[in-house]
Amino acid sequence: MLNSLAMRGSWILSLLLCSLVSNAQVPGVPAPAPVPKPVAAPAPAPLPPSIEGAAWLLMDDSTGQVLLGNNVDTRVEPASITKVMTSYVVSAEIKAGKLSPEDQVRISENAWRGGGGGTDGSTSFLPVNSSIALKDLLHGMIIQSGNDASIALAEHVAGSEEAFASLMNAYAERLGMRGSHFVNSHGLPDPEHYSTAHDIALLSRALIRDFPEDYAIYKLKELTLNGITQHNRNSLLWRDPSVDGIKTGHTAAAGYCLAASAEREGMRLITVVMGSSGEKKRADDSQALLNFGFRFYESHLIYAAGQSVVESQIWKAEQDSIALGLLEPLQVTVQRGKYDQIKAVMDLPKPLLAPYSKGQQVGTLRLSLDDQLLIERPLVALTDMPEAGFFGRMSDELMLWWESE
């Protein structure tokens, strides 16, 4: 036992002596960019495209990073992009077992009037008092942007539009949409009905991630319902084969709006353009943002889930070090040529004291570029780390006391 304590004390003393020689960061922190440095500085990226509109952004889907944007958290009218929230709620309720795609949904007079007396907004031309399969209504709302379909779905899910709006707001809060509030399922103007470009991108990202089968509806170019064929208003579906969603919107107050998403070579980007002056302009600006993002940005996997990021010294434990890592893969998107400039900083308690349970947060990992924080993630224990026995704890207690002096 004395020999064991002496060896432990000798090991700790050697670490302390080493720490006097160097002020380096926590041992074991890997370089964030395991690629050779370029021989010459990368060519600078050109200025981003000039985008018209009240608010707009370009987001990386894999990380949620906003790569470019203007007025991203400014309150705007979402118009028919509201229906993305409606479809998310319907898909979530189906997944929860509360609905079935085969449900027969009655078209009430309120739904038939489309929320505007039968004259305002888009419609799927659903006959009043008819019954339509829920899955067909979902297609009609997404592809044709039918207000009647969205109201019928809301009434079927929650009994009324008002009750359905409360569900929309509950799901929005769960998704982190802090700047949004919904009062209807279709997006016709109301002073209390609003969102932000950032929130719409968060919603789009969640829909793609959580309900890929329902998201696949958004890329369909046309739908025939009740013998009437209508086309998807997202013109990017015809322009760019990499675009597979998501939704347009327009009212006189909101202007022309478009949330779009595309995937090229495994990288997915999301754009949101709100308050544009016309259909072509919103499509042109969205296409310009997508092209710029795919041309001048790249994504890299920094750490895999469960990978040891750092081996850190731990006190009063049965072992001398603990492996720390991440619960989920950590990916980052940066301008091309800047990957090797990413800096990793780990914030860990000093001293690190047992016990810890597997998966318990121990510290924080932060990645930054050009002095700007990119991503922050919790560092967790990759294994259980129980306390040492009495003598081990006492030995470390003495060493910590001595070090503090």
pLDDT of 195 above 80: yes
Q: Are residues 320 and 218 in the same domain?
A: no
Last residue of a domain, one of 237, 267, 297: 297
Cβ atoms 285, 277 nearer than 8 A = no
Whether residue 35 lies inside any domain: the answer is no
Check: pTM over 0.85? Answer yes or no. Answer: no
Domain for residue 144, yes or no?
yes
| 197 and 122 co-located in one domain | yes
Tens digits of residue pLDDT in 22-64: 333 333 334 444 444 444 455 566 789 999 999 999 999 999 9
Q: Which of 109, 83, 101 is nearest to 164 (CA)?
A: 83
Is residue 71 a contact partner of residue 51, using CB atoms and an 8 Å limit? Answer: no
Sorted by sequence, the CB contacts under 8 Å of residue 76 that are 6+ apart come out as 54, 55, 194, 195, 196, 197, 254, 257, 274, 275
User: Phi and psi at residue 123, in whole multiples of 5°?
Assistant: -145, 155
Q: Which of 264, 297, 330 is the last residue in one of the domains?
A: 297
- pLDDT band at 123; cut points 50, 70, 90: confident
Confidence of residue 396 (pLDDT cuts 50, 70, 90): low
Q: Nearest-CA neighbor of 84 among 278, 266, 249, 314?
A: 249
Statement to judge: residues 163 and 189 lie in one domain? yes
- For residue 371, what are the domain limits? 304-404
Provide the token pair at 67. 């790569």
Residues 75 and 167 grouped into a single domain: yes
Mean per-residue pLDDT, 389-403: 72
- The set of catalytic residues is 80, 83, 145
Are residues 86 and 186 in contact, defined by beta-carbon separation less than 8 angstroms?
yes
**Structural domain ending residue among the three candidates 270, 297, 324:** 297
Measured between alpha carbons, how far is 61 from 45 in angstroms, rounded to an integer? 21
- Asked if residue 387 belongs to a domain, the reply is yes
Average pLDDT, the chain: 87
Q: What is the pLDDT of residue 320?
A: 87
On whether both 120 and 85 belong to a single domain, the answer is yes
> Are 264 and 246 within one domain?
yes
Q: Based on the domain organization, do 214 and 262 belong to the same domain?
A: yes
* Percent of the chain scoring above 70 in pLDDT: 85
Whether residues 281 and 319 share a domain: the answer is no
Q: Centre a 10 Å sphere on the Cβ of residue 81 and count the other Cβ atoms it contains.
A: 26
HEC states along the chain?
CHHHHHHHHHHHHHHHHHHHHCCCCCCCCCCCCCCCCCCCCCCCCCCCCCCCCCEEEEEECCCCCEEEEECCCCCECCHHHHHHHHHHHHHHHHHCCCCCCCCEEECCHHHHCCCCCCCCCCCCCCCCCCEEEHHHHHHHHHHCCCHHHHHHHHHHHHCCHHHHHHHHHHHHHHCCCCCCECCCCCCCCCCCCEECHHHHHHHHHHHHHHCHHHHHHHHCCEEEECCEEEECCCCHHHHCCCEEEEEEEEECCCEEEEEEEEEECCEEEEEEEEEECCHHHHHHHHHHHHHHHHHHEEEEEEECCCCEEEEEECECECCCEEEEECCCCEEEEEECCCHHHCEEEEECCCCCECCECCCCEEEEEEEEECCEEEEEEEEEECCCECECCHHHHHHHHHHHHHHHC
82-95 vs 134-143: helix crossing angle, rounded to 10: 160
341 in the same domain as 238: no
CATH number, domain at 91?
A: 3.40.710.10
3 domain residue, yes or no: no
Is 195 contained in some domain?
yes
Q: Count CB-CB contacts under 10 A for residue 26.
A: 18
End-to-end CA distance of the chain: 26
Q: What is the dihedral of CA 397, 402, 404, 405, to 10 degrees?
A: 150
Q: Is residue 312 part of a domain?
A: yes
pLDDT range class, residue 242, cuts 50, 70, 90? very high
pLDDT tens for 247-281 read 999 999 999 999 999 999 999 999 999 999 999 99
Do 246 and 392 fall within a single domain?
A: no
Length of the chain: 405
Does residue 310 share a domain with residue 167?
Answer: no
Query: How much is the pLDDT for 198?
Result: 98
43 belongs to a structural domain: no
Give the pair of three-digit tokens for residue 245: 């969603």
Report the alpha-carbon distance of residue 370 to residue 389 in Å, rounded: 46
Model confidence at 319, in pLDDT bands (50, 70, 90)?
confident
CATH number of the domain to which 377 belongs = 2.60.410.10
Cβ–Cβ under 8 Å, residues 141 and 153? yes
Residue 7 forms part of a structural domain: no
Domain count, the chain: 2
Q: Which of 7-16, 142-151, 350-359 has the lowest mean pLDDT?
A: 7-16
Residues 353 and 263 in one domain: no
